[in-house]
Chains A and B, each alone.
Chain A
Amino acid sequence: MSFVTRGFSGRRRDDNPRLPPGQTLVNDWPVLSAGPTPRVGTAEWELTISDETGADHRWNWDQLLALGVEDVTVDIHCVTHWTRLDMAWRGVSLDRLFENVESGHDFVMAHSYGGYTTNLPLEDLLDGKAWIATEADGEPLDPEHGGPARLLVPHLYFWKSAKWIRGLTMMPDDEPGFWEQNGYHFYGDPWKEERYW
């Protein structure tokens, strides 16, 4: 179903082929959050990967950065219909974090400070596709945008890039996180417009 809207011609047209369907290009950085912004200092910040053996892999702020910070320039697509192109990020590749994690499980639940969760397939986090981001636009990531650190999974809608990231838990099955329980899609491919289910 789709029909022409009488009188509408559109004024922010952009034929950029990098714009997924239903998205509008922005230069600012809108905020999608379900509650107040948690404020977590880097001194108390910690990231844990938990696998099925019960072993926890843990990094504090300095240990995270010591794994090696990369520059990443990617396009960001938010489910609320905005897209930013060529956004400059810095962060640690999840390949580095998963180097010593042995798990037979294929799915991951990302946990945030503040209690939010979102689910992802493990393969979407590996092979240079995802980071723990600590800087954006040349600045430390501010709390509104998920600082001190957020997941960055640019090939999926941006809610999958969990703000205020604190943990990744391996799961045998794909279980819905907070956002998915509230109507957002389990996977969230912007090119297929997987916004809601």
Chain B
Amino acid sequence: MSAQPLAPPGAARPRAAWHAATVTDVRRETPTAVRLTLDVPTWPGSEAGAHLDVRLTAPDGYQATRSYSIASATPGGVVVLAVDEVPDGEVSPFLTRELRSGDQLEVHGPLGAFFVWRPGQDDRPVQLVAGGSGVVPLYAMAAAHGATGDGTFFRLLYSVRRPEDAFFSDELAALTGPSFELDVVYTRAAPEGWAGPVGRLDKGALAAATIPASHRPRLYVCGSTRFVETIATWLQELGHAAADIRTERFGGL
């Protein structure tokens, strides 16, 4: 079986439930995305990599619900999300443009017990691969790894269009050290003074910037559906076992 959960079912996983959240901070994350800080007094905490559902209700009762990964992996009642605007979308433009401090939202979670990293889960190194907003749950894993002082070796390969499109860039840079390595791929434009290549990731570049299969890393891949499909296929071609690759597909192309 390649898809066994790492922890036995029923391990101390917080139950999913509806919660009322109050927005306490909205700030620009990238030119197209915002970072939302929510105060959720009843929040049970979540594992790094989990997501929640946000439900919006119009005055006539019409509702729209979408999933968002949780960037924070802290036990308390503070939940951080980062939302990228999908042009002509229904929910993401509302969250990125309309929402402000003091607003209330309904959230349901925490959700997802498979695409998670648990401190001390095992001693295998961890390779994270993110495209665009797909870094959100992987940032939560890297932050949890940093906060717990877990010694497992972590490496994140992050593909973004331009330097300004990177989510959590300061936080990620601050996490780098002997047990966390960060590699950024720029597909459209690189920062000034950048010596590396600019352009779409290919299999060779993926191989060069990730932990080799011989070290048997656990891999987490997150981004648009197309990005995840492509990366997961290349990783298998590079010798990683399908069972070692966990994926979260955000949608889109």
Q: Are B103 and A5 within 8 A (Cβ)?
A: yes
Contact of A1 with B by CB under 8 A: yes
A192 lies within 8 A of chain B by Cβ: no
Contact with A along B8-34 (1 / 0, CB 8 A): 010001001010100000000000000
Residues of chain B lying within 8 A (CB to CB) of residue A178: 3-5, 114
Chain A window 1-33, contacts with chain B (Cβ cutoff 8 Å), 1 for yes, 0 for no: 111111111111100000001101000001111
Per-residue CB contact flags for chain B residues 40-73 toward chain A (1 = under 8 Å, else 0) read 0000000000000101111100111111000000
The answer to whether A7 touches B247, judged by C-beta atoms less than 8 angstroms apart, is: no
The one of A4, A81, A176 in contact with B57, judged by C-beta atoms closer than 8 angstroms, is A4
Interface size class of B (residues with CB under 8 A): 35 or more
Contact of B5 among A5, A33, A181 (CB under 8 A): A181
The 8 Å CB contact of A3, one of B99, B104, B111, B233, is B104
| Contact call A181/B66, Cβ cutoff below 8 A | no
Which residues of chain A (73-94) have a CB below 8 Å from chain B?
A: 80-81
Contact B232 A36 (CB under 8 A): yes
Contact B58 A8 (CB under 8 A): yes
Within the complex, the shortest CB–CB distance from B243 to chain A, in Å, comes to 7
Pairwise interchain contact A24-B251, C-beta atoms closer than 8 A: no
Q: B67 and A81: CB pair below 8 A?
A: yes
Tell which of A2, A6, A11, A36 touches B242, judged by Cβ atoms closer than 8 Å: A36
Chain B residue nearest to A143 (CB atoms) is B229
Judge if B236 is at the interface, Cβ distance under 8 Å.
yes
Q: Which B residues, 120 to 167, have Cβ-Cβ distances below 8 Å to chain A?
A: none
Q: Is B216 at the interface (CB under 8 A from chain A)? A: no
Known: A34-B3, A196-B16. A183 touches B94 (CB 8 A): no
Interface size for A (C-beta < 8 A) is 39
Contacts of A4 in B (CB 8 A): 57-59
Please determine whether A183 and B16 come into contact, CB atoms closer than 8 angstroms.
yes
Considering the complex, give the chain A residue whose CB is closest to the CB of B20: A1
10 nearest CB pairs, A to B: A36-B232, A115-B2, A115-B3, A181-B9, A115-B1, A182-B113, A5-B56, A182-B114, A8-B56, A12-B90
Closest to B236 in A: A36
Are B242 and A38 touching (Cβ within 8 A)? yes
Judge whether A35 and B62 touch: CB under 8 Å. no
| B113→A35 contact, CB < 8 A | no
Contact A114 B2 (CB under 8 A): yes
Decide: A35 near B16, CB < 8 A? Known: A3-B104, A178-B3, A178-B5.
no
Contact B104 A80, beta carbon cutoff 8 Å: no
Of the residues B53, B58, B249, contact of A9 by C-beta under 8 Å: B58
Residues of A with C-beta under 8 A to B16: 183, 196-197
A144 CB–B CB distance under 8 Å: yes
In the assembled complex, how far is the CB of residue B126 from the closest CB belonging to chain A, in whole angstroms? 15
Contact between chains at A114 and B58 (CB < 8 Å): no
Complex interface: chain A residues within 8 A of B113 (CB): 181-183
